[in-house]
Structure 1
Amino acid sequence: MDGGTGVRVLRRLALWVGLPLVVVLAAGWTWYRVSDTGKRWRYEDRLSSYCGGVLPVEETSALTGLGTDSFRNDLRRGGSRTYYEFCWAADLYVTVSRIPGGVRDGGLSENDLRFYFPHEGAHALPSATPLGGGWRGYTDVQNTVAALTCRDGGSVVVTAQGDGVEDDDQAPGGRARVGRDRVQRLADLTTATAARAAERWGCGAKVPAGPPAPPAVSSAPEPIPLLDGTCAGIDTGQDMLVDWAWETQPDRNALEEHCVLGTWQTPYQGDQEGRLYSFSASYGPSALEERLRSQDRLDYEPRHQKSPYRASAQCPGDTERARFSVAPYDATPHDKKFATAAFKAFVRHAVERHGCGDLRLPD
């Protein structure tokens, strides 16, 4: 076989082998781009490095689908002790934070707590429903927070800011109806992310065995003939203006608890209108955030200027003292005698439910 013949044979062989290979590669690429399995592979690959790799695939895809176009604003901030991952997924802002134990020795300030408990609408209604299922955290429909306590006393805290309200459907009275399935998916996402972050960051946290189980969330205040949740123990008959209450069912794993009392004399609009008293309790990392956020304003006030509507207690498993207050801070209740009695009742029942000690009430 001369040289020219050999070249022709080699060309034919290359054509016979190359064309099928090109076809196979093209088919494989097309399958990778359009098939559900290919989409999932790309999705998992993107999540492995996005947001510090702490977002779980199943729970994230339940809210975003398998598209990655919304994965942006991936930020990491902080130092070696306190840091957080912030990222955007679909219509959610997700913050995954690590805060240390021994906060008083560490000298943390408000600016160090770059993880944040969202305050938008924090005292509107609905508010702070426990996650349930043994998980520590809450959902107020627009924000969902989950926390795990680390072996060294620090915490991993996950916040997902995303609306759980169905805009196209309304409850009686013209108020938006809560999307129960979405509230559950947000709870699933925050708890699974907290567990994944705790494992990756060597937190050594004890993770509940089952999923969260947030109770049904109502967007409307209720009449007050029976108060058996976070408002239990308050004698509303002492104030003739109190017509309605909004309370959550108590939970030993709560980060925040609220009891809101209001009047129909001012129409309820889903915000502060119609609200007479809003009693709040913060536990664990939420209490830490509350203390650091308010210490410049409160801890250095002259004693005679301090608000009578603040208290604290030491609760089991927490290095930070639980904090109790009437919100907002600048509120001036119209009946101070009732406000004082109601606040003390709210605090005492909360302390009893959580098994706290060393209660420090105002004079």
Structure 2
Amino acid sequence: MKVKNRRDLLRNIFTCCLAVLVLGGGIFYFSGAYDSWRDKVSLDSACQGTLDQPSLQEALSSKRAHAGNFYEDRTGSLTRCAITTSGNNSSTLRLDVRWGSDADRDSGLVGRADMLGLIGRSSPLGGDWPGAISFNEPQATVALPCRNRKNESLLVDSRLSSPHLVTSLFPSHRLGQSRIRAAFVRFTTETAMHAADKFGCEASEGKAIKEAPTDPLNLDGSRVIAKSAQPLANTDGTCAPLRPLASAAAKAGVPKGMESPSQKNAPLTDCFLTTPDGEPGYGLSATYGAYAKIFREAGGPSNVHGKSGFPEKRNYAWATARCPGSTERALFTLWQVYDTAREETPVKKRSHKFELSALKAFAKHSTQQHGCSDLQLP
């Protein structure tokens, strides 16, 4: 009798425990705790544990996100992943990490594979970080020089698709977008340092990013008009090397400049010369290290071959130089902007003499700023 009572007691205890476990599991699952736990596990392991999660939440404007596989077919990555928020109107951030020597045509800023329009133009990240941000997606990139690897860098590319970054005329919305971009840049730089530790790249850390870089173009709606264009003689950023040519620029129909803050270690630099109405007529760019390799291998319509060139009947010219930290020659380009919306070039009458003078001034200043040598001009 006692044995039976004991068996009944044990059976009841087991049944109660099982019920508690089932009930607790149901509460854990249906309360959302399971989803949160699953998301955290996926983020902790994504991209081999290199993600900077605090800034990731800010960039995605959500505390609920999960990581998955990067669905594009690419080779050469050390690690890559995609992070997506939960719910409707989700945001997605894609990250790719690789050595600069393994950079491919898809590693650069989208649209920067040609010298025609304005897509892919960028600003330095700031904070002495060797990187840049493009505003059309947006996309941020960092190339950390590795002290322990000769002529090598760690290339980190991140891309953000977010419904919170759609074009808006409301100042409050634009302020929120600026905060998202600042968090996105912080995520990219902090994740780059985590990746450097993970993959053995001894790199210097920049300063904390508190403000978002500004768009040098400051486009006005759908028209290619720059509100921030100023007289070339007054520029003090990336267009400053062209100040001595202010008079010649005015005669060439581009008296104003549109620029980003100058940064000595920026791997990508842009300056735009504009018409009196502030419409970009010429673009000038400096491209260093892995990014010069990407440009040459991208196979865009603006092919560059050799150390310099000014092809007859084409809209661009280029120069190159040998710069520290890479076996790839730096690339300095000038091109006449083509307005795809109106299917015309804002500069109606070209001056080849001015174009070569502008490229020379821009390239000479850039080589001096980066400690380059052997500048080859067309």
TM-score (norm 2): 0.74
Residue 235 of structure 2 corresponds to residue 238 of structure 1: no
Aligned partners of 1:156, 1:139: CA distance in 2, in Å? 17
| RMSD between superposed Cα atoms in Å | 3.8
* Cα pair 1:96 1:194 within 8 Å, conserved: no
* Cα pair 1:187 1:214 within 8 Å, conserved: no
2:263 is aligned to: 251
Aligned partners of 1:302, 1:315: CA distance in 2, in Å? 15
Deviation per CA, 1:164-193, whole angstroms, max 9, x where unpaired? 885464279xxx778221111111111122
Among candidates 270, 278, 283, match of residue 278 of structure 1:
283
Residue 365 of structure 2 corresponds to residue 349 of structure 1: yes
Q: 1:324 Cα shift?
A: 0.3
1:314 is aligned to: 322
| Structure 1 unmatched ranges of 5 or more | 102-107, 269-273
Letter of the 1:206 partner, please give it.
Answer: A
Among candidates 82, 85, 88, match of residue 87 of structure 1:
82
Aligned partners of 1:89, 1:117: CA distance in 2, in Å? 22
Q: Kindly report which structure 2 residues correspond to 1:96-135, keeping only aligned pairs within 5 A, or say none.
A: 96-99=96-99, 101=101, 113=104, 115-120=106-111, 124=118, 127-135=121-129
1:11 is aligned to: 8
1:179 alignment partner, SS class: helix
Residue 41 of structure 2 corresponds to residue 45 of structure 1: yes
1:359 is aligned to: 375
Aligned partners of 2:167, 2:310: CA distance in 1, in Å? 51
Aligned partners of 1:283, 1:302: CA distance in 2, in Å? 15
Residues 275, 315 of structure 1: CA spacing in aligned structure 2 closer, same or farther, 3 A cutoff?
same
Aligned partners of 1:45, 1:88: CA distance in 2, in Å? 13
Q: 1:254 Cα shift?
A: 0.6
1:179 is aligned to: 177
* Cα pair 1:95 1:115 within 8 Å, conserved: no
2:224 is aligned to: none
Deviation per CA, 1:35-75, whole angstroms, max 9, x where unpaired? 77x66543331123334443232222333333235745456
Aligned partners of 2:45, 2:290: CA distance in 1, in Å? 27
Q: Kindly report which structure 2 residues correspond to 1:65-76, keeping only aligned pairs within 5 A, or say none.
A: 65-68=62-65, 71=68, 73-74=70-71
Among candidates 8, 20, 23, match of residue 23 of structure 1:
20
Aligned partners of 1:83, 1:20: CA distance in 2, in Å? 47
| Structure 2 unmatched ranges of 5 or more | 86-90, 219-226, 339-344
Q: 1:201 Cα shift?
A: 2.4
2:282 alignment partner, SS class: strand
Aligned partners of 1:291, 1:49: CA distance in 2, in Å? 35
Among candidates 351, 354, 365, match of residue 338 of structure 1:
354
Q: 1:286 Cα shift?
A: 1.0
TM-score (norm 1): 0.77
Residue 209 of structure 2 corresponds to residue 212 of structure 1: yes
Residue 133 of structure 2 corresponds to residue 139 of structure 1: yes
Q: 1:149 Cα shift?
A: 2.2
Q: Which moved more, 1:328-337 or 1:156-165?
A: 328-337
How many residue pairs get aligned? The number is 337
Q: 1:134 Cα shift?
A: 2.4
Residues 316, 298 of structure 1: CA spacing in aligned structure 2 closer, same or farther, 3 A cutoff?
closer
2:366 alignment partner, SS class: helix
Residues 184, 17 of structure 1: CA spacing in aligned structure 2 closer, same or farther, 3 A cutoff?
same
Aligned partners of 2:68, 2:58: CA distance in 1, in Å? 15
Among candidates 208, 225, 235, match of residue 227 of structure 1:
235
Letter of the 2:321 partner, please give it.
Answer: A
Residues 33, 158 of structure 1: CA spacing in aligned structure 2 closer, same or farther, 3 A cutoff?
farther
Q: Which moved more, 1:230-239 or 1:274-283?
A: 230-239
